[in-house]
Structure 1
Amino acid sequence: MTAGPTTVWFQEALLEDGWVPDVRLTLADGLIARIETNVRREAGEASHGVAVPGLCNLHSHAFQRGMAGLAEVAGPVSDNFWTWREAMYRFVDRLTPEDNAAIAAFAFAEMLEAGFTRVGEFHYLHNDLDGTPFRDPAEMIHGIVAAAAASGIALTLLPVFYAHSQFGGAAPAPGQRRFVMGLEAFEQLVEAGRRAVARLPDPLVGVAPHSLRAVSPEELRVVARLGDGPIHIHAAEQTKEVDDCVAWSGARPVEWLLANADVDRRWCLIHATHMTGSETAGLAASGAVAGLCPVTEANLGDGVFPTADYLAAGGAFGIGTDSNVLIDAAGELRALEYAQRLSRRARNVLAGEPGVSTGGRLFRGALAGGAQALGGASGLEVGAPADLVALDAGHPTLAMKRGDAVLDSWIFACRHSPVMAVWRRGRQVVAEGRHVERPALERRYREVLGRLLA
């Protein structure tokens, strides 16, 4: 039996046209059926503080949540992304499909608790422990789908094509055996993924050529033509990657993509950290989204994206949690601004102009760019999925704040998260700051790590 409409009243809400006080949202069949503004709360009606749209987490490797904190001990040589990658290879060597599903479900629950309502799962864990294909090409995908169903998060599945270890078509390394496959097998994987996600509400499937070092130019062209969904690719995350790309092609990664691929609004370039001024302007003009993961980029020592110049050129951006070393939507936006402040020795760099709220600009930019990159909704409006986040108006840091000052305080000043409730397609999945299924999901997560890390 389908539940009837429900109403929720908010002291204030960020709607498509801006901030409005005293708002009642009517939720029906998973959608926002009606919005009433400047209305009093009715007796017995559910009420919350401040309503904002749920954000899109445009770049996640869910399984890596299980290794969070395990790569923070210095090795015998200088630590960098490449030494971290070896630690990741060792962790992934042990993951079964069931392990992957349990870790992903807990990570997705944490994302909802942080204010994300849709995730782009950049999924490259395809093969069995020894590198042989599963009988069912979607064996690992089924676990991701089950995790999305258990947590309630919206899923944009991004199956990853990964064929080579280095530019020029070099053979894959042993540590990459669980990732690699040929084009025919990948096409079958994408189709199997579409069938697997069909049981979820409003799913989407795109494709993800892993990076220019992992795919050949011809493979990139083939993969990009598989369907009409989003296309995500890692690009220019590390200076070594840039140097290797120049040695291979004579061009830098973003430069090569802009010149040789039909980069447009369907594309999301993950990281794009190391760009020249012309690359920055070119990426902004292309209409593509820059997928920024500031917490992971800082954790790995990647570098600082030229955010101020990119936004000044009109570029679109979204945020992701990438390695999931720390899942915190506000923390990603804070790290994005603070990196610019440290680099430029200035404040409120990304506000753009005098009188503009930095938190407000960051939130709205991530909301729009994330929705574009993942094919999700981007606001609270009639007919849109009821994906909304309630911030605690009683949180001491939000006291007496209104409008964008709420976003500034959430992003820059809250020690403890003010996210109190989250609805995903009209179903409340977070209450009192915790996912409604957290005990069971956390128990499974602990059991898996207890075995993997014993």
Structure 2
Amino acid sequence: MGTVIHCRTAWLDGRAVPDVRIATDAGRITGVTTGPAEPGDERLSGLVFPGFANAHSHAFHRGLRGRTHGNGGSFWTWRTAMYALAGRLTPEHYRDLATAAFTEMVLAGWTAVGEFHYVHHRPDGTPYDDPNAFALALRDAARTAGIRLVLLDALYLTSAPGEPPLPEQRRFSDGSAQAWAARVRQIPTDEFFRVGVAAHSVRAVGPADLSVVAGTAWDLGVPVHVHLSEQPAENEACRRTYGCTPTELLDRAGALSPALTVVHASHVTGADVALLGARQASVAACPTTEADLGDGVGRPRALADAGTVLALGTDQHAVVDPFLEARGLEAAARLGSLERGVFAPAELVAALTTGGHRSLGLEGGSLAVGQPADLVAVRTDSVRTAGSDPAQVVLTATAQDVTDVVVAGEFRVRGGEHQAVPEARLVEILRSLA
């Protein structure tokens, strides 16, 4: 039997609409009407958005939060700490850490996540008895948290163009693109656990193997993701080796398409922007991570104007808050342009909703008949949001204002409390892993 959810205000077609009744059945929206609540309706106050889709996550990075800021440094010194953490992971360890990361996401309003996954094997590179043990640990964590998971299984073969993996990178590598593709095809999927593919970067995957990744995505009908131009050093190495930018290399390999999402794109050229737009690729910006790592200020407005579709992700989870990612996108654009209002509030909501779902190859992102019944209710009467124009709540709310989260018609969060994983359990997991 279906459920009707009455929303005091709901986000429909890019605007806030009062008194909306959303009928759901079997995990999908079956009706959207306006009018007062009726007896038997579930009631949601505040402003109800479609579920947010987190386009880029590395769940194990959550174990670094608050532990890498003591001595300054750069992306490259941070990477050393990340490799040390990756080296200690076991499938069981990873399941617990990912359960905490994914549950925090649901509490913040994310209802789907793309997990960019490259920790595959034992530290020496040999496979576990089940070569997808880590992938299945992530699946189990997502099930516990109640979030839709797209596992973006990443190919990782070299430490730099033509160079073998470093010792700390061996567990990331399958040895060849063909072995990687064969392993990926063995991962079981279901309605809430999908598989996509990824090339880690042009540092880790050369042109011929980029073509294998693109071909695998085409064969399976799944999205493909890649880290792109996050650091100037990546661009410089690509130019030295291949005589072109990373974006141009992807195009030569046949990887640029509407199915592709490039992550970061912080240091793309004007020609790169035009090429990405012409191919209608998605761009997953991760503003809080890019700020935390000192990656630089990208060109999100130019990319959107060229024809790319913007999505947002939490990446290393220095912060897990969709509203801060949205504001970070606007803040970076303001700092780069010396102007305010570079993105309209509705565009920021679109990056969290329709843009994120497109990036992950998922339905969703709107409160419309036939769409998944994924909803996020946000307070409009908190000290952060009171007095805000409902159309601009994305610029004032934080994750603390999320009261209720519905995934596939089921309440995963009620009154700010996760229904399956108590906060005390999250704290226990994170303390044990520190």
**TM-score range relative to shorter protein:** over 0.9
Residue 221 of structure 1 aligns with which residue? 211
Residue 19 of structure 2 aligns with which residue? 22
Residue 235 of structure 1 aligns with which residue? 228
Residue 355 of structure 1 aligns with which residue? none
Matches within 5 A, 1:136-285: 136-167=130-161, 169-181=162-174, 182-193=176-187, 195=188, 197-198=189-190, 201-226=191-216, 227-285=220-278
Contact 1:48 1:392 in 2 (8 A): no
Tell me the TM-score normalised to structure 2 length: 0.94
Residue 428 of structure 2 aligns with which residue? 446
Contact 2:118 2:172 in 1 (8 A): yes
2:365 equivalent to 1:365: no
Contact 1:254 1:272 in 2 (8 A): no
Residues 1:187 and 1:255: Cα distance change in structure 2 (over 3 Å): closer
2:26 equivalent to 1:36: no
Residue 45 of structure 1 aligns with which residue? 41
1:328 to 316, 321, 332: 321
Contact 2:327 2:395 in 1 (8 A): no
Q: Aligned partners of 2:182 and 2:313: how far apart in 1?
A: 27
Note the C-alpha offset of 1:395.
Answer: 2.3
Residue 94 of structure 1 aligns with which residue? 88
Contact 2:402 2:416 in 1 (8 A): yes
Deviates more, 1:139-148 or 1:279-288: 279-288
Q: Aligned partners of 2:333 and 2:377: how far apart in 1?
A: 29
Matches within 5 A, 1:33-112: 33-37=30-34, 39-43=35-39, 45-49=41-45, 50-74=47-71, 79-112=73-106
Note the C-alpha offset of 1:208.
Answer: 0.4
Contact 2:53 2:110 in 1 (8 A): yes
Amino acid at match of 1:208: A
Contact 1:359 1:408 in 2 (8 A): yes
Tell me, what secondary structure is at the counterpart of 2:376?
A: strand
Q: Aligned partners of 1:405 and 1:88: how far apart in 2?
A: 36
Residue 297 of structure 1 aligns with which residue? 290
Deviations 1:249-293 (A, max 9, x none): 111111222343241110001111101112112212211001111
Note the C-alpha offset of 1:165.
Answer: 0.5
Residues 1:180 and 1:159: Cα distance change in structure 2 (over 3 Å): same
Tell me, what secondary structure is at the counterpart of 2:69?
A: coil
2:400 equivalent to 1:406: no
Note the C-alpha offset of 1:43.
Answer: 3.9
Q: Aligned partners of 2:426 and 2:416: how far apart in 1?
A: 20
Tell me, what secondary structure is at the counterpart of 1:349?
A: coil
2:402 equivalent to 1:419: yes
Residue 437 of structure 1 aligns with which residue? 420
Tell me, what secondary structure is at the counterpart of 1:379?
A: coil
Residue 395 of structure 1 aligns with which residue? 382
2:310 to 317, 337, 347: 317
Note the C-alpha offset of 1:294.
Answer: 0.7
Note the C-alpha offset of 1:41.
Answer: 1.3
Note the C-alpha offset of 1:409.
Answer: 2.9
Deviations 1:406-448 (A, max 9, x none): 33332xxx5x6321100011111111123222327x5266346
Contact 1:159 1:189 in 2 (8 A): no
Q: Aligned partners of 1:217 and 1:259: how far apart in 2?
A: 8
> Where does structure 1 lack aligned partners over 5 or more consecutive residues?
351-357
Note the C-alpha offset of 1:20.
Answer: 2.3
Deviations 1:277-316 (A, max 9, x none): 1211221221100111111111111111111222222321
Tell me, what secondary structure is at the counterpart of 2:171?
A: coil
Note the C-alpha offset of 1:401.
Answer: 4.3
Tell me, what secondary structure is at the counterpart of 1:248?
A: helix
Note the C-alpha offset of 1:191.
Answer: 1.7
Contact 1:103 1:445 in 2 (8 A): no
Residues 1:41 and 1:273: Cα distance change in structure 2 (over 3 Å): same
Residue 130 of structure 1 aligns with which residue? 124
Note the C-alpha offset of 1:188.
Answer: 2.8
Amino acid at match of 2:283: A
Residue 308 of structure 1 aligns with which residue? 301
Q: Aligned partners of 2:249 and 2:225: how far apart in 1?
A: 15
Residues 1:448 and 1:45: Cα distance change in structure 2 (over 3 Å): closer
Tell me the TM-score normalised to structure 1 length: 0.90
2:386 equivalent to 1:384: no
Tell me, what secondary structure is at the counterpart of 1:132?
A: coil
Amino acid at match of 2:38: E
Note the C-alpha offset of 1:367.
Answer: 2.1
Deviates more, 1:44-53 or 1:271-280: 44-53
Amino acid at match of 2:261: C
Q: Aligned partners of 2:152 and 2:418: how far apart in 1?
A: 25
Q: Aligned partners of 2:85 and 2:165: how far apart in 1?
A: 18
Q: Aligned partners of 2:203 and 2:324: how far apart in 1?
A: 30
Number of corresponding residues: 428
Matched-pair identity in %:
38
Contact 2:15 2:391 in 1 (8 A): no
Contact 1:30 1:426 in 2 (8 A): yes
Q: Aligned partners of 2:372 and 2:366: how far apart in 1?
A: 9
Note the C-alpha offset of 1:402.
Answer: 4.7
